């Protein structure tokens, strides 16, 4: 079998690290790049430890096109998985230019180098945020798109750019993956999500309360039209998400054309249900404080996961209990992160 090589941008990040493990374990040679703006160099040896295989790694900003070209010339890259970017909604409102520069200009820079080097297979990390406030659930890929903040707009802009690129040159094969809410960690407890500041997202916040780093969880909103008044989301185990990238790459290798798919479980879980599951998994009590709705939040969002199954033969395997157990093991073993 000829060796397949994949360039992974954002390789030391939360989703990137889990995907590198999965790629290595499935016969890909992995060349990772990251500027460590939101991750630690300690991640790379842990990826290798889990996979029991080596990977290449270069500390690099994707906007550094000459260094990027140099790497692509040295390595024989079959495809690229593009995670690198900034991801905080609130930070994007405060620093919009950073988000457009990193996420949009960074993607332009990467795509130009790929075009120049004749690499035409790409998997792009998009987000369910592009659905804005869904008019109905489960959300299918045909649902209308919109954005209410600079982060969401940066994802939409890149999606639109990719669509124009495909129209200009049919030899591109691009998988746009719209993630729902990634949570959990590798079951080894060696890699996981390690927010630099106060976590914005639910599961890392719950985990920090459980481990004693924070006194309580604020539950934003108690009067949404949901099962218990709290917000409902589609939480997906990060290892299932990583496997989705493998399936997307396999599709790109074997079929011409491009596609957009949701990666979610198809199941909605409320904040209070997530808290109960985490308490069960950790054996800890999570003190709660009811708080006002968080500005910009929606009541309910979960995926239609049908297209991913039909097109990629992929579906999420892990349920909420395993998401919480694995997230807890990571947090418990690494109370202060990496």
Q: Which of 151, 179, 302, 318 is catalytic?
A: 151
Residue number with CB closer to ligand UFG (46 or 233): 233
**Which of 220, 279, 309, 319 is close enough to bind ligand UFG by CB under 6 A?**
220
Pairing of strands 269-270, 232-233: antiparallel
Catalytic residue flag (residue 151): yes
Per CB under 6 A, does 294 bind ligand UFG? yes
Q: Residue 200, interface with ligand UFG (CB under 6 A)?
A: yes
Give the span between the Cα atoms of 168 and 166, in whole angstroms.
5
172/121 Cα distance (integer angstroms): 6
User: Is the Cα dihedral 107, 265, 292, 148 positive or negative?
Assistant: positive
- Residue selected from 131, 179, 302, 330 as contacting ligand NAD according to rule CB under 6 A: 179
Q: Looking at 27-35, 95-103, 134-142, 216-224, which segment touches ligand UFG (CB under 6 A)?
A: 216-224
Of residues 13 and 268, the one with the C-beta less far from ligand NAD: 13
CB of 100 to ligand NAD, least distance (A): 12
The whole-angstrom separation of Cα 226 and Cα 297 is: 14
- For ligand UFG, the closer CB: 117 or 297: 297
- By CB under 6 A, residue 182 contacts ligand NAD: yes
The partner in contact with residue 125, picked from ligand UFG, ligand NAD, none with C-beta cut-offs of 5 to 8 angstroms by kind, is ligand NAD
Rounded least distance, CB 97 to ligand UFG, Å: 18
What is the helix (H) or strand (E) element at residue 58, kind and residue range? strand 56-59
- 89 versus 113: smaller Cβ distance to ligand UFG: 89
The residues with which 28 forms a beta bridge, in sequence order, are: 4
Q: Of 39 and 181, which CB lies nearer to ligand UFG in the complex structure?
A: 181
Beta bridge partners of 232: 270, 300
CB of 236 to ligand NAD, least distance (A): 10
DSSP 230-287: S-EE-EEEHHHHHHHHHHHHHHHHHS-S-EEEEES-S--EEHHHHHHHHHHHH-----
CA gap 188, 191 in Å, rounded: 8
Near ligand NAD in 57-96, by CB under 6 A: 61-63, 83-87
231 scored as a contact of ligand UFG (CB under 6 A): yes
Q: Which residue of the chain is nearest ligand UFG when measured via CB?
A: 231
Q: Is 138 in the site for ligand UFG (CB under 6 A)?
A: no
Distance CA 139, CA 144 (A): 10
List, as one string, the DSSP characters of 108-176: HHHHHHHHHHT--EEEEEEEGGGB-S-SSSSBPTTS--B-SSHHHHHHHHHHHHHHHHHHH-TT-EEEE
Indicate the DSSP class of residue 104: I
Active site residues: 151
- What residue ranges bind ligand NAD (CB under 6 A)? 10, 12-16, 34-39, 61-63, 83-87, 102, 106, 125, 127, 179, 182
């Amino acid at each position: 079998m000829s060796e397949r090589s994949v360039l992974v941008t954002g390789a030391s990040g939360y989703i990137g690290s889990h995907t590198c493990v999965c790629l290595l374990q499935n016969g890909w040679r992995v060349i990772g790049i990251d500027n460590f703006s939101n991750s630690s160099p300690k991640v790379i040896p842990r990826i290798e430890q889990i996979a029991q295989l080596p990977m290449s790694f270069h500390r690099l900003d994707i906007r550094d096109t000459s260094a990027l070209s140099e790497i692509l010339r040295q390595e024989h890259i079959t495809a690229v998985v593009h995670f690198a970017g900034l991801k905080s909604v609130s930070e994007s409102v405060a620093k919009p230019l950073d988000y457009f520069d990193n996420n949009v200009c960074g993607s332009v820079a990467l795509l130009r180098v790929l075009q120049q080097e004749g690499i035409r297979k790409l998997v792009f990390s998009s987000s369910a945020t592009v659905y804005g406030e869904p008019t109905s659930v489960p959300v299918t890929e045909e649902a209308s798109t919109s954005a209410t903040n600079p982060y969401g707009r940066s994802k939409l802009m890149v999606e639109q750019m990719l669509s124009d690129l495909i129209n200009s040159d049919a030899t591109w094969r691009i998988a746009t993956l719209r993630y729902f809410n990634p949570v959990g960690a590798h079951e080894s407890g060696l890699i996981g999500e390690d927010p630099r500041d106060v976590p914005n997202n639910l599961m890392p916040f719950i985990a920090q309360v459980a481990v004693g780093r924070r006194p309580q969880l604020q539950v934003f909103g108690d009067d949404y039209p949901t099962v218990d008044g709290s917000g409902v989301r589609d939480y997906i185990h990060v290892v299932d998400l990583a496997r989705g990238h493998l399936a997307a790459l396999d599709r790109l290798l074997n079929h011409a054309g491009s596609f957009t798919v949701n990666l979610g479980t198809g199941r909605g879980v409320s904040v209070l249900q997530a808290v109960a599951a985490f308490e069960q998994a950790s054996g800890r009590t999570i003190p709660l404080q009811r708080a006002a709705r968080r500005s910009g939040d929606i009541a309910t969002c979960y995926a239609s996961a049908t297209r991913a199954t039909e097109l990629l033969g992929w579906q999420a395997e892990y349920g909420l209990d395993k998401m919480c157990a694995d997230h807890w093991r990571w947090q418990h073993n690494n109370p202060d992160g990496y």
